[in-house]
Structure 1
Amino acid sequence: MEIKKILLAVFLPLIVSNSANAALALDVTRYIYNGNTSFISAIANNESDKMYGGQVWIDNITESDTRPTFVTTPSFFKINGKGRQVFRIMKMSDHMPKDKESIYWLNLQEIPPANKGNGLSMAIRTRVKLIYRPEAIIEGRSGAEKNITIQHLPGQQWLVNSTPYIFTISDVFDNENKSLIFNNMDKDNLSMFRPGDKVNITGKIVKSVSALNDYGSLETYVLNNQVK
């Protein structure tokens, strides 16, 4: 029994954070919740031949904000082998900003069938982004990446998200279409580039960005303008 506890303590963090070999998988890599809808639907697919249990819930990315915002129903379920489960995501609060997007984590925790004997069951959690888009800004979302601006300050230059949208930027290109190199902190910032966020590009020339659209596909956008 003590050995089992140690093994779980060692491996569980890896198992929770890695969804590559998960039995349960979500139908998309991100969900967009438009403010003019009462709910959105999502699907959990069972890729294995065995019955699995599942749990879904929403976390606030900002840890200091503990107010409940969304609820999933059903939140617990069982899925037969090669089966699927449709669930709903519903807004239960209205405290989010009306003029910019907000972002949350949608979690899918699989509950594996009991192993025979003393085998170790792996319980893998999958986590994807849930973006809430207020009704007032739905219409302007398409191609909004083009409106990312370049701000010039004395001795400095910044790539600024001056839009109300949250972007997942994979690459920033110069005028020769070469990908710029950033440190890990800036890469993390670009991967969840929120309204008002900025990244230092002093000494660099930026022509375009490559970012994920609402459907999880990469597109390249040439920037429209610069802020002087």
Structure 2
Amino acid sequence: MKIKKMLLAVFLPLIVSNSANAALALDATRYIYNGNTSFISAIANNESDELYGGQVWIDNITENDTRPTFVTTPSFFKINGKGRQVFRIMKMSDHMPKDKESIYWLNLQEIPPANKGNGLSMAIRTRVKLIYRPKAIVKGRSGAEQYMTIQHLPGQQWLVNSTPYIFAISDVFDNENKSLIFNDMEKDRLTMFMPGDKVNITGQIVKSVSALNDYGSLEKYVLKNVVN
């Protein structure tokens, strides 16, 4: 029993979450890094009344690419209760594709104040998406969801992201405005619908999609030039 308690004390403090229970919170649910800028700014807010420490860093989502791409400054900081910390995200390499978007995780790890007594301090990590948009495709992003296409194969139909942009699609609607049903794997793919990705819509008629825009708000887009 003593060993189990010790293991719990080791693993419980580090929790990955976007929960409202976190003391430190980012000022956006996603960040867009346009390739024609030298850096972007973000804010970590301390929602508690106590002094908290914080650490921010960027992870690659693509597991086979471990090259460092972005740096945050400052990467470590302290925030007074109800205070905030502005930090910068800067590109430190240029190996990303120049004809399509790339995606990363922005992590915010809170460091709680020392707990008095025998209580357990919870250190929650929040992570949100950071999308890098190359300079060459910045101007074409607005409303790009409407330019997804339908691929017709023998006995099959696929909804294809034929654009260079990464979409976060929450719903796909038919011509009667009814939401299409997808399995869990396809749902996950739609939430991070990468250039070239596709989902099976055989037997369905797709008219529109609902997706998050750059600011994290849902918008509906009617697909253009789609013949079912």
8 Å contact kept, 2:27–2:44 = yes
User: How far is the alpha carbon of 1:36 from its aligned partner?
Assistant: 0.5
Instruction: Give the distance between the partners of 1:77 and 1:153, measured in 2 at CA.
Output: 54
Show CA shifts across 1:49-89 (max 9, x none). 00000000000001111000000000000000000000000
8 Å contact kept, 2:146–2:223 = yes
Give the secondary structure class of the aligned counterpart of 1:187: helix
Determine the structure 1 residue equivalent to 2:154.
154
Determine the structure 1 residue equivalent to 2:8.
7
Show CA shifts across 1:38-59 (max 9, x none). 0000000000000000000000
Determine the structure 2 residue equivalent to 1:189.
189
2:92 alignment partner AA:
M
User: How far is the alpha carbon of 1:201 from its aligned partner?
Assistant: 0.5
User: How far is the alpha carbon of 1:2 from its aligned partner?
Assistant: 4.5
User: How far is the alpha carbon of 1:225 from its aligned partner?
Assistant: 1.8
Percent of aligned positions with the same letter in both sequences?
A: 86
Instruction: Give the distance between the partners of 2:108 and 2:13, measured in 1 at CA.
Output: 15
Alignment of structure 1 residues 9-158 onto 2, 5 Å: 9=10, 11-12=12-13, 15-17=15-17, 19-158=19-158
2:8 alignment partner AA:
L
8 Å contact kept, 1:33–1:133 = yes
How many residue pairs end up in the alignment? 227
User: How far is the alpha carbon of 1:5 from its aligned partner?
Assistant: 2.3
Give the secondary structure class of the aligned counterpart of 1:81: coil
Instruction: Give the distance between the partners of 2:190 and 2:9, measured in 1 at CA.
Output: 34
Instruction: Give the distance between the partners of 2:17 and 2:183, measured in 1 at CA.
Output: 22
2:52 alignment partner AA:
Y
Coordinate RMSD, CA, aligned = 1.5
TM-score (norm 1): 0.96
User: How far is the alpha carbon of 1:16 from its aligned partner?
Assistant: 2.4
Instruction: Give the distance between the partners of 2:133 and 2:210, measured in 1 at CA.
Output: 21
8 Å contact kept, 1:150–1:225 = no
Instruction: Give the distance between the partners of 1:23 and 1:223, measured in 2 at CA.
Output: 41
Show CA shifts across 1:134-187 (max 9, x none). 000000000000001111111000000000000000000000001111110000
8 Å contact kept, 2:16–2:127 = no
